[in-house]
Amino acid sequence: MIDLNPDATTASPSRISMWVLLIICVSAFVGGLFTMHIWNVVRESMNTQTRTETDVYEEDTNMDDEVIPSGEISSVSTESELVIDWIDPSKQQQVTVDARVSEVLCPDLSEPDSEKSWSQCGNPPQISQLRLGVVVGGVYDGRFLEMVSARIEGMGFANSTLYLLIDSTEENLPVLLDQVAQNSNESFPSTYRYTASEIVAWSGMSLNEAFPGYTLETTALIPDLVANETLTDIHGNRFILSGEWVRYDAEVAVSVIASQESIQLEDGRSLFLYEAGEGASTQVGKNQYFLVGKDGRLAWYDLEVAFLDYTERAEGFDISQGIPNITWNDGSENTQTYMKGALGGCGFTTATHVVSKEIINTLELGQSGTGLYDANETVKIYEPANYEMSYFEDAFNAVTFSSADEDPKTYEDFVHPYLYFQDAFDRWIELASIDIVPAVECGKPVIYLYPEVQTDLSVWVSPRGGFSYTEPEYGNGWNVTAFPDGRIINRSDAKQYPYLFWEGRGGFYPSVQTYWIVEQSDVEVFLENILARMNLNQSEIEDFVEFWLPRMQTAVYYKIGFNGTAVMNELAPLNFSVKPDHIFRVLMDYEGLETWEASKPPKNLPYANRDGFEVIEWGGVLR
């Protein structure tokens, strides 16, 4: 079983005489009193120092440390890092859920005159509040840190997490930590860090409307809740963060608690290998490693490919791809980019694609090169003798989408398309050339900008598998002037555009969990109605239907579903030099059917706010 507190040790005495035992007990008692006295002196000194620093801060800001204000929501900025006396995750107790947080995250969405009510979090609502620890020092000294997590049903399931500081005297309303929040899709871990403001905005309310009387702490961070980007074990192997997820004891975290095999890190912590039992896989954890955070949430890590120079991106490096440092048998050096994840959806997984030894034994591998990494360490690189085997039959459908009428390519068109090697743990790893793309890609996502005033800004989008086309030309990002009516002037060519357009390959995403089955003759009306319910305007709806309807003409029925903002943020992170007030992103996935089946529509659709500086993006999976 996984040990949630692996640093703790126990010892049991054997055959100790009663006199020795008595002496030890007396010594321990006296020592304990002395230690407690020293600790109280030190802690009082720490608190005195912290309060002195706080008093200076309050003189500059006219804040009162004694009373966190009630009434209208108050935004404070301590510019601090909170120190927490943590409770072990296995001992963190549930407490009564804050009623206002529950109303905001899990609103009642019952139809008028409905006899059966239901909320966004199910019936009964799946929401809990856990006490994680106590703040030590500073403005919030002595307040409880508590985490509220809600399993939200929309287009699939996501888990939204807010963090509160609770006054133990109950004299003041909670403090809501804006910078310490998270939202995770149940099908994959999140690399995108959310704020409480963003999560609450999805309800269509501002923070003032959502939490009257609460205090919004705008900048304070809790370093212990920020997962390390990289970890190193005692043998020098490096692990890279692939995302943060739900708590270890969540229903979807199947068999994580049963993991036993661990790797000792150089900082003394233990990194666990996910071991799915028979038929029990979390989907996100396959072939990965995890840590249990201070709040019980899981952080997933992937073993670094040592000889791969990972792709640099604006927000850091992309762990899904890079250029391997390989010398081929003919003496030439590799210059191709390779994906290390499995093909899927309109992109790739970020997790390393581990291939079973049973499959490897069928591939007739031969060494084609040598990978080079730290201090001239090497690893043998292998390729199949040929690709005329069942394992590769689907891959022969690979196309590049450089033109609409391009024929599928065969492996004769590629050089070194697939590579295989054994990693530090003797697992067989597959690398695929980035030129071999899946048979679908993220098709025509378009980005509309609606600032409140004319605004100069830069826009960056980073599809995990790269671009196949952009308009205007992307360069190192789009540098544009945006107008409130949606007009966009691209500053590099001085031309006007209605939106920013890109096609490319995102990351791997799950099949849509909710969908409608629509007869082909009804598809146009269905799309118009469903997009209107999401609060897209008429121009956006017309653009959407104009692009997608011609591609949905051949089947008798269409299975139509959507992924929302959280999924799109993982597939293709979107960043701005001027921060929008709201970002609404939606990705349609569809499949033609010859026979009817029952629909599984979502109970709640996302809704574009359309106030402040609004960004709207729609796209779909191009098949």
- Give the C-alpha separation, 101 to 204, whole Å: 14
Render 106-152 in DSSP notation, one character per residue. Answer: S-B-PPTT-SS--BTTBTTT-EEEEEEEEE-SSTTTTPEEEEEEEEE
449 CB burial (10 A radius; 0-12, 13-18, 19+):
buried
**Lowest-confidence pick of 43-57, 232-246, 583-597:** 43-57
Residue 601: is the preceding peptide bond cis (ω within 30°)? no
Domain ranges of the chain: 74-224, 227-303, 323-433, 441-622
Q: What backbone torsions phi and psi does residue 175 show, to the nearest 5 degrees?
A: -100, 130
Q: Using one digit for the tens of pLDDT, what is the confidence trace for 69-105?
A: 223 344 555 558 999 999 999 999 999 999 999 999 9
Which pLDDT score is estimated for 209? 85
- Give the C-alpha separation, 73 to 172, whole Å: 12
Which pLDDT score is estimated for 52? 33
Which pLDDT score is estimated for 58? 30
| Average pLDDT rounded to a whole number, residues 599-611 | 84
Which pLDDT score is estimated for 278? 62
38 CB burial (10 A radius; 0-12, 13-18, 19+):
exposed
**Lowest-confidence pick of 33-37, 327-331, 485-489:** 33-37
445, containing H or E segment: strand 441-450
- Give the C-alpha separation, 252 to 539, whole Å: 40
| Average pLDDT rounded to a whole number, residues 469-496 | 93
Does position 348 have pLDDT exceeding 90, yes or no? no
**Closest to 338 measured CA to CA, from 313, 362, 318, 314:** 318
- Give the C-alpha separation, 369 to 330, whole Å: 8
Q: Using one digit for the tens of pLDDT, what is the confidence trace for 102-130?
A: 999 988 876 666 666 677 888 888 999 99
Q: What backbone torsions phi and psi does residue 470 show, to the nearest 5 degrees?
A: -140, 155
- The one-letter amino acid at 510: P
Which pLDDT score is estimated for 383? 95
Does position 615 have pLDDT exceeding 90, yes or no? yes
Render 305-355 in DSSP notation, one character per residue. Answer: -TTEEEEEETTEEEEEEEEE-EEETTSPBP---EE-S-EETTEE-SS--EE
Q: Using one digit for the tens of pLDDT, what is the confidence trace for 371-394?
A: 999 877 899 999 998 888 888 876
**Closest to 302 measured CA to CA, from 229, 209, 249:** 229
Which pLDDT score is estimated for 464? 67
Does position 208 have pLDDT exceeding 90, yes or no? no
- Give the C-alpha separation, 284 to 464, whole Å: 17
- Give the C-alpha separation, 190 to 242, whole Å: 8
Which pLDDT score is estimated for 313? 55
| Average pLDDT rounded to a whole number, residues 289-317 | 84
**Three-state secondary structure along 269-280?**
CEEEECCCCCCC
Identify which has the larger pLDDT, 269 or 28: 269
Q: Using one digit for the tens of pLDDT, what is the confidence trace for 152-200?
A: 877 678 889 999 999 988 888 899 999 999 988 777 788 778 899 888 8
Look-up of token digits 């959310």: 194
Which pLDDT score is estimated for 36? 39
